[in-house]
């Protein structure tokens, strides 16, 4: 399996977006990078710097470490830019950060957010990843794929996620994805919310039906080079 770099905006996006993929391949050579923390957007700007926020960020990062350990992933990097405020960060700064991660890890495959998403941080991370991975810059980078994040990507009603690649999953992969998601104690909601057991299962079955299998996880190929 290729060296895989997952670039996510916030802790939990990796499990929601490609948890089945990580359940299948996570024990291989995988690194996960988080650009922003996933907590401070719930507070006013005046409250930034509050110790309670710092404690909650640390708690969510610990949730993430536990979640990724379910897949066997331990190579994790948190940059902890302010959640929901990536539009205040110069895009060149994010580009350089991502380029540096690629230089260090040298992945063959990158997974990141979808172009159209209801979360602005997700869209910015996608855009920055596209600029950082422009053709001809990184030798050996063969594939760039985007994933969908339930409760975010599908809520952009005017732009439907259009996958063109389906990773076939087994029931055990779907269950492991849910096991990892449960580590994010504050991010679980009752059905019919997409971040419920039934919600994640339904999506895996729906994408499976599209691919002609029982379960799958859907991706969009941004670039694929056969070498």
DSSP secondary structure string for all residues of the chain: ---EEEEESSTTHHHHHHHHHHHHHTTSSEEEEEEE-SSGGGS-GGGTT-HHHHHHHHHHHHHHHHHHHHHT--EEEEEEEPTT-GGGS-HHHHHHHHHHHHHHH--SEEEE--SS-S-HHHHHHHHHHHHHT-TTSSTT--EEEEE--TTTGGG-TTS-----EEEEE-HHHHHHHHHHHTT-GGG---TTSTTSHHHHHHHHHHHHHHHTSSEEEEEEEEEE---
Q: What is the pLDDT of residues 83-123, one digit of tens each?
A: 999 999 999 999 999 999 999 999 999 999 999 999 999 99
Q: What is the predicted pLDDT for the residue at 93? A: 98
Q: What is the predicted pLDDT for the residue at 48? A: 67
Query: What's the total number of domains in the chain?
Result: 1
Tokens 């050579």, located at residue: 29
Cβ atoms of 83 and 37 closer than 8 Å: yes
Whether a cis peptide bond, with omega within 30° of 0, leads into 39 is: no
What CATH number is given to the structural domain containing 56? 3.40.50.10320
Q: How far is it, in rounded angstroms, from Cα 14 to Cα 6?
A: 7
Residue 98 is part of which domain span?
A: 4-224
Q: What is the predicted pLDDT for the residue at 45? A: 67
Q: What is the pLDDT of residues 156-207, one digit of tens each?
A: 999 999 999 999 999 999 999 999 999 999 899 999 999 999 999 999 999 9
Segment 128-151 mean pLDDT: 96
Q: How far is it, in rounded angstroms, from Cα 9 to Cα 38?
A: 8
């Amino acid at each position: 399996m290729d060296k895989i770099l997952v670039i996510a905006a916030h802790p939990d996006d990796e499990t929601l977006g490609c948890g089945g993929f990580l359940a299948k391949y996570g024990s291989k050579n995988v690194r996960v990078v988080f650009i922003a923390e996933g907590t401070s957007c719930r507070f006013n700007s005046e409250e930034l710097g509050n110790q309670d926020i710092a404690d909650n960020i640390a708690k969510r990062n610990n949730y993430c470490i536990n979640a990724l350990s379910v897949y066997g992933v331990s190579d994790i990097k948190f940059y902890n830019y302010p959640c929901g405020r990536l539009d205040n960060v110069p895009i060149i700064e994010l580009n350089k950060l991502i380029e540096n991660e690629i230089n260090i890890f040298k992945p063959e495959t990158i997974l990141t957010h979808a172009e159209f998403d209801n979360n602005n941080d997700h869209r910015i991370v996608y855009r920055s990843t596209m600029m950082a991975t422009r053709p001809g810059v990184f030798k050996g980078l063969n594939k760039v794929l985007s994933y969908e994040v339930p409760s975010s990507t599908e809520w952009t009603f005017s732009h439907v996620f259009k996958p063109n690649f389906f990773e076939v999953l087994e029931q055990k992969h779907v269950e492991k994805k849910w096991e990892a998601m449960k580590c994010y104690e504050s991010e679980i909601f009752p059905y019919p919310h997409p971040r419920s057991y039934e919600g994640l299962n339904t999506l895996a079955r729906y994408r499976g039906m599209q691919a002609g299998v029982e379960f799958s996880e859907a991706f969009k190929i941004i670039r694929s080079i056969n070498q």
